[in-house]
Structure 1
């Protein structure tokens, strides 16, 4: 379950932004005026789950991608039992979740304090509306290079809990190699979710072709396996050709 998302320099979102998505488990709606960033959230999730090309904020053209460091970091509510208890992944997920559930506004700098407060306020709603005792709350995503990102949760607290006591006093966050130790956790989460984004302006002819990922997800894995055995690629191309005609 995706409860929120941190976006950094993606489409309409400049800097770090936290966008609450839901604090319930059945339904979510994004409501707002045109241009406020609703489709940016949906498109960011499409990039994250389906490998689509990132639509970066225009300021990246001026400042450069290495300066702006775009990120897509969803916040997941995941059943604890998807990880083997006692495993390294379980331990890391537990540490990250405890941090997300316990982080306070004091952990943020001036530029991110308002967004952390928004997360904390949303977190209170999640805890009030859902029984989170059997879940991990995991803010985990990727940056523009495909490396793991934990957004504003990559803090000194995480460093001290994850690494041994010999760490340097001035080490306030994990480096890229240390962050990528969370990769197996993200791989597990991605396997739990099938995400389909159908933008309003999408060409129906493109979307309804049998070989598109969206159609294959809608058909279901079992049906897709059956069709793959019975219908060849050449036949699918011929079907699409005739449909277009």
Structure 2
């Protein structure tokens, strides 16, 4: 079975939306899937309750029961880069612990989807010696890249793909998130695919998370890359 990372070209490109959507639509095929976000930051206060957006979205939209303790290892209150958010709370992120959890979860589910934080070069330690990219390389798992469609995405996406390629990390496909249908958005997508012809999916711009969850990508080349009808992941 194919386990993989969902990584972004930047922060707030929709990694959690895509992770949740892929989880949900793979689950709908009868596959045991769990998401795992090693580090989440930014505690949310709403209606007198505190929660973390990423793991809450997983639990809310999963079609299967999820083990809450397995959804992430580090949660920090400050909405900041993981290394700084950890530093503010006097903690350090143990990447060995993250890799051990990744290895463990691969043994108990059909598909493990690991969600990154920020872009691939986001630091995980105060000294800047370890980045998310280092953990991805250590995990030996391929990635799905999430990017925007608006102005600036060509540069951000090409840089991300070039780095992944230079490090020998397999890219399973690209998700273009937030497509407005404009001529510029469409040209941005076409230009990126011209240089990097990968399986892909396009998600339109939605104002509500629930609307994204109603959007089907099962007929896209990306989903075809991830799923076969005999329930084997390729």
Q: What's the TM-score, normalizing by structure 1?
A: 0.26
Query: Higher helix share goes to which structure?
Result: 1
Structure with bigger RCO (C-alpha 8 Å, 6+ apart): 2
Normalising by structure 2, report the TM-score. Answer: 0.27
- Which has more radius of gyration? 1
Of Structure 1 and Structure 2, the greater strand share is in 2
